[in-house]
Structure 1
Amino acid sequence: MNHLLLKEACLENFTDIPAASHNGAARIELCDNLAISGTTPSKGVIAEAAKYCHEQNIPLIVLIRPRKGNYVYSDTEIKIMEADIFEAQALGADGISFGALTPDNDLDQEAMKQLGAAAGGMQLVMHMAFDEMNFEQQKKAIDWAVDQGYERILTHGGPLSSSLEKTSGHIKELLSYASGRVTILPGGDITAENCDAIAKDLGVTQVHGSKIVPLDFVQK
């Protein structure tokens, strides 16, 4: 199954991208500050990452998140995210990963539309803010994402503090509901060692993680 499985490596900074590419990452999600679940990387990092990824024919997705904490953003924060999206596109990113919620943890459709419009044709990915919603809200968010032309929804199936063994049942429910209309991309606790088994169990062909491929560069 290895050759059929698309591995999206979630990496902070440029440093690990060459090794990830060398070791089988077929797509990169670029961020900063992974210790706090990621924030938007700098312009310089995006520029170098885009240049390298395009030389390797690897799509580059840039995380758009202005700070740690919740996903309920002020108007000013939405403007900051919008400006970061314009920059990411100008620097050569192929897509953006983002999410915004209302105070009751429903999808903030108004903010998401504004941010999606700023993407100007780049791939749209809904990140793990999705996991803050309840199942009924998630089903509505899936329908909305399909209608808006999203490529993927990234999910752990529950809180990152819960193991994938505990959340895999819910991921299967999400996969069933999405029914191929949008890609449900599992992430969190997925490593180079367990990704094939997890993908087989879930019945998916794409997985995401910061340890999805080895990050040491060994010449072949």
Structure 2
Amino acid sequence: MRVEISTDSADGAVAADRLGADRIELCSAGASGGLTPGPGLLSVVLDRCHRSQVHVLIRPREGGFAYSPAEVAAMRADVRHAASAGAAGVVVGALRADGRLDAAVLGELIAEAGGVPVALHRAIDVCPDPVEAAHTAADLGIRRILTSGGATRAEDGVGVLRRMARADVTLTACGGVRAHNARRIAEATGIDEVHAAPREQVPSPGGEVDFGPHARLDESETRDLIAAAHRGAR
């Protein structure tokens, strides 16, 4: 089973690479669901991660996935930059006002990738019919989908994930995936890829002005997840 680790820092990406992650999803602002990482962060991660593939999340802001023309333009530029910088893939998503996939915008982003593999992120999990959306994504040329089957947690979306797996596209199960349940989810769905974002809080040193804690990759949970997922595989 392949393991993708989401991280929003250079140190987290280097640690995930060292611990044996098959793929890194690089983002910024992970606590907000992830946004497009800056060029400096991407450059450092690509320079220092030599084992794991680095895929770049393209998301211009927090909130829903129906985007204005200006936001689409920003996403197109970010896809071009990630591809030209040497990322192994990009991760995108866009919805219409009715909640269905925005095929026109996704087509533009795929074109900007210039042959670099394109994955669809969890925007699919808020679509009215994730199964239909999986088939639409495959028809557009999207190669992989991160999904929990429309549930908060992949464990609760097993039935939908099984149906989505019939589309001609690779699924990566995500949403509450950890060492204790990764293989169970894979066995229940037939999906052989999982995605997780294990984080732990680091308190601020404090003082009169306190900007609060920040999150960093939980290396212990990451190590356990990778070991559990790879056990008996390959």
Name the TM-score class by shorter chain: 0.7 to 0.9
Alignment of 1:34-183 (within 5 A): 34-53=30-49, 55-56=50-51, 58-135=52-129, 138-160=130-152, 163-175=153-165, 177-178=166-167, 181-183=168-170
Q: Deviations over 1:170-205 (max 9, x none)?
A: 212212x32xx1111110100133212222222221
> Structure 2 length normalisation: TM-score?
0.81
Q: Quick check: 1:192–1:211 contact (8 Å CA) kept in 2?
A: no
How much does 1:66 deviate? 0.3
- TM-score if structure 1 supplies the norm length? 0.86
C-alpha distance in 2, partners of 1:193/1:25?
Answer: 17
What is the match of residue 6 of structure 1? 2
- What RMSD in Å do the two structures reach over aligned CA positions? 2.0
Instruction: State the match for 1:26 in structure 2.
Output: 22
1:209 has 2:204 as partner: no
- Cα 1:157/1:68, change in 2 over 3 Å: same
Using CA pairs under 8 Å that are at least 6 residues apart, name the structure with larger relative contact order, 1 or 2: 1
Letter in 1 for 2:44: E
> Which ranges in structure 1 are unaligned for 5 or more consecutive residues?
none
- TM-superposed CA distance for 1:214, in Å, is 5.5
CA contact (8 A) 1:126 1:154 kept: yes
Measured in 2, the distance between the counterparts of 1:188 and 1:144 equals: 22
- Rounded to whole Å, the distance in 2 between the matches of 1:77 and 1:142 is 24
| Distance in 2 between residues matched to 1:168 and 1:49, nearest whole Å | 33
Q: 26-35 or 198-207, which moves further after superposition? A: 198-207
Q: Which has the larger radius of gyration?
A: 2
Contact 1:123–1:150 (Cα < 8 Å) also in 2:
yes
In structure 1, distance between residues paired with 2:67 and 2:178: 31
Deviation sequence 1:59-88 (CA, Å, 0-9, x none): 111000000000000000000111111111
Q: SS of the residue aligned with 2:64?
A: coil
Q: Deviations over 1:140-176 (max 9, x none)?
A: 432332233222011111243xx4332222212212x
